[in-house]
Structure 1
Amino acid sequence: MSDWKTLPGAPLTEQVFAIGDVHGQAKALRSALVQIKDTPRNGMPSHLIFTGDIIDRGPQNLDCIEAVRSACELANVDKVTFLPGNHELMLLEAVRQPHWGMNLWAQNGGMAVINEIDPEGKIRLVDDIARTLGVELGSFISLIDAAPDYLRLADVLFVHAGISPHEDMDTFLNQGRDMPSKMSDHWAWIRDEFLYHEGGWDAHGHLVIVHGHTPHNMGQRIDPAIAGQYLDRVDTHHRVCIDAGAAGMDQVALLEFSGDQYRITVTHEVPFNPALEETVTPDECENEIR
């Protein structure tokens, strides 16, 4: 795990853990939950936050859903908050407006979920697939429906993809879940405008955004001891990325806050071995932010 660093703003009043994009990597996710359980408590209430994209692309989506639903017990925390990502929002559209949304979701990783539910491919019609998803994923869909779109704790804002530096923050965050005409116009989809902004997010430069959606690791596995070198952009961009590229590998980011301190690491299905890993430098990873 990276060394502790100090937040620019107010300290948090809970011991907060945040897990970013999981994308069906259940073993890496469960490893993160065990690590949280084994982390010494600081005397404050413990709170685990998921920033979305639990499903799609990876091999164990249904187990990821079960782990999220059981996360309070698995991580031994007092509270769990789930925030939806764009993949959860696409799932809702696939189930509720299948003739419009199913193809978009399936082409963006949803087929991995469909194949787990129907491994023999017996369900062919779009409406039948939607009905089956609604039944098999009913509890997860209810969780998405009940989830807030974002969460702010002191001077830390948790949201899936980010916020716009050019629009009123409250208006941008409270626009709802409809698919935007441009991906840069939504908190679940935004990339470049958010990622490259270096001017801070509030007048005092205190607000830090914790987000996923865009991995910063060039498709490489990260040494947990130096995860901050890849994912921490607080000093330059006032944000921390907790998407460690789970869409393509067994790697999940885990961020911890204690008072005004924070640190970040990653967990894997297969333990990280620096001697066997092909790595790139954090500077090279900047080229992937797009």
Structure 2
Amino acid sequence: MKYDKTFVLSDIHGELAKFKELLQYWKPNEENLVILGDLIDRGEHSLEVVQLAMDLQETYSEQVVVLKGNHEDMLSIFLSEKDYETGDWYFNNGGNRTCESFTHYSFPLYFHSYEERANKMLQVSNKEIQFLKQLPLFYEFGDTLFVHAGINPHLRDWRKSVEKDFLWTRGHWNHPNETGKTVIFGHTPVRHIHDSDDIWISKCKSYIGIDGGVVFKGQLNGIVIDKKGQILDKYKV
């Protein structure tokens, strides 16, 4: 990436106003920007959040990285399967809000099958959906590793972690970090790790959790970190 400092945030979940508010602290002339996935679901403005992320990546192509989260994975599975079981699973985990947003709130959900809902989303917001499908699972930044959920801590080579580890795992922070990197992750609201919505740092300082649970009446956290894994600034909105 372009700079030696990176502004990192995670788990926006359609909270557009908070996303814009936190971005005011980002210094695009000095810092890269990494979003650790889960742009969508649960909040009301998933489409606008995705569009803003796309605009940022297009405008600052050398310094903006957006990763895939488990909710982007869920959306992709739903749009592929389009059946009742998958639809029920996805919509009960916030996908109903994304469907409303991606169809411009012009499509009464409860009068249509899951297949019809999926097809309407693909018809109206295909560009945004294709953007989400192709997002990477991780990004290396010097001695720092950015992921959505985590890694498999039992593997000597973290690159051998499977997609499910990067997108869905929890509890890796309870195991020694043998990657040689500081692992920055979202996915698990940090209140479940240390009873606070502020960022969590492990005792060994090699795991940093930043999901402030904004969509659960928490906060949206941002940190500025260097290639050595040192936190330079912290923000919350």
Please classify the TM superposition score into its range, dividing by the shorter chain length. 0.7 to 0.9
The structure with higher relative contact order (CA 8 Å, sep 6+) is 1
Aligned to 1:243, the other structure's residue is in SS state coil
Hey, what's the Cα distance between the residues in 2 that align with 1:220 and 1:144? 31
* Matching residue within 183, 186, 192 for 2:165: 186
Q: How does 1:127-276 map to 2 (within 5 A)?
A: 127-167=115-155, 168-172=157-161, 175-176=162-163, 186-192=165-171, 194-197=172-175, 199-202=176-179, 206-217=180-191, 227=198, 230-233=199-202, 235-236=203-204, 238-249=206-217, 251-258=219-226, 260=228, 261-268=230-237
Unaligned runs of 5+ in 1: 1-11, 177-184, 269-290
- Measured at CA, do residues 77 and 30 of structure 1 come closer, stay the same or move farther in structure 2, by a change above 3 Å? farther
Partner of 1:126: 114
Q: In the comparison of the two structures, how many residue pairs are matched?
A: 229
Q: Show CA shifts across 1:221-247 (max 9, x none).
A: 85xxxx4xx4222x4361111211023
Contact 2:47 2:128 survives alignment (8 Å): no
Partner of 2:47: 62
TM-score scaled by length of structure 1: 0.70
User: 1:108: how far off?
Assistant: 0.9
Kindly provide the amino acid, as one letter, of the partner of residue 69 in structure 1: M
Hey, what's the Cα distance between the residues in 2 that align with 1:213 and 1:140? 21
Contact 2:143 2:227 survives alignment (8 Å): no
Hey, what's the Cα distance between the residues in 1 that align with 2:205 and 2:196? 23
Hey, what's the Cα distance between the residues in 2 that align with 1:49 and 1:165? 23
Contact 2:185 2:210 survives alignment (8 Å): yes
- Measured at CA, do residues 13 and 73 of structure 1 come closer, stay the same or move farther in structure 2, by a change above 3 Å? closer
Aligned to 2:108, the other structure's residue is in SS state coil
Q: Show CA shifts across 1:26-54 (max 9, x none).
A: 111111212104x772xxxx421111001
* Matching residue within 67, 72, 83 for 1:88: 72
- Measured at CA, do residues 107 and 255 of structure 1 come closer, stay the same or move farther in structure 2, by a change above 3 Å? same
- Measured at CA, do residues 114 and 146 of structure 1 come closer, stay the same or move farther in structure 2, by a change above 3 Å? closer
Unaligned runs of 5+ in 2: none
